[in-house]
Amino acid sequence: MTEETTSQDTVKIVQKDDEHFVQVEHGAVDIPQNQPKRRYGEKTIKGIIVGRGETQQVIRVEDVEKLASLHLTYSAMAEYFGVKENTFRDHFKTIVDHARLGTKQRLIESMIYTATNKLNPTMQIWLSKQWLGMTDQQINNSEDKVLPWLSSQD
């Protein structure tokens, strides 16, 4: 019979004749046997401090820009970071707006490239309708009036 203890001395692993038993003291968390060995450490995160008290956390600007460039809603981003929507909006409105404009700019560049360089007729037609005001419907401003005939007397 052998005994091993963890660094916190809250969990004891006891081995008896090819059988493993885990003894957990009161209040300790049971550790599954098949867990990989993990290394724990600390790191410093550079970002904007949001919230107060226990809910205070640091949110990286790069993470907000990435989610905003995908056009996620404020509520979805706030939920992802675990903060209230109004708090998130107050701290990151300019960053979100800038990231969304960048996505729109890249999309427009891609549309123009597809229409002009790849000569995609669908994109050419769509852009001409949207930007140039063209239509595939004939416009009759005369309201079905018959054109006047010119007589030889005129």
* SS3 label, residue 19: strand
Which residues fall within 8 angstroms of residue 57, CB to CB, at 6 or more apart? 49, 50, 51, 81, 82, 83
pLDDT along the chain (154 residues), means of 10: 49 57 59 75 91 89 97 97 95 98 96 95 93 81 67 66
* Confidence (pLDDT) at 38: 81
pLDDT score of 154: 54
Model confidence, pTM: 0.61
Report the pLDDT value the prediction gives residue 39, as an integer from 0 to 100. Answer: 82
Give the span between the Cα atoms of 41 and 22, in whole angstroms: 26
Of 63, 22, 58, which is closest to residue 43 (Cα–Cα)? 58
Is the alpha carbon torsion for 28, 34, 39, 40 positive or negative?
Answer: negative
DSSP 45-71: --SEEESSGGG-EEE-HHHHHHHHHTT
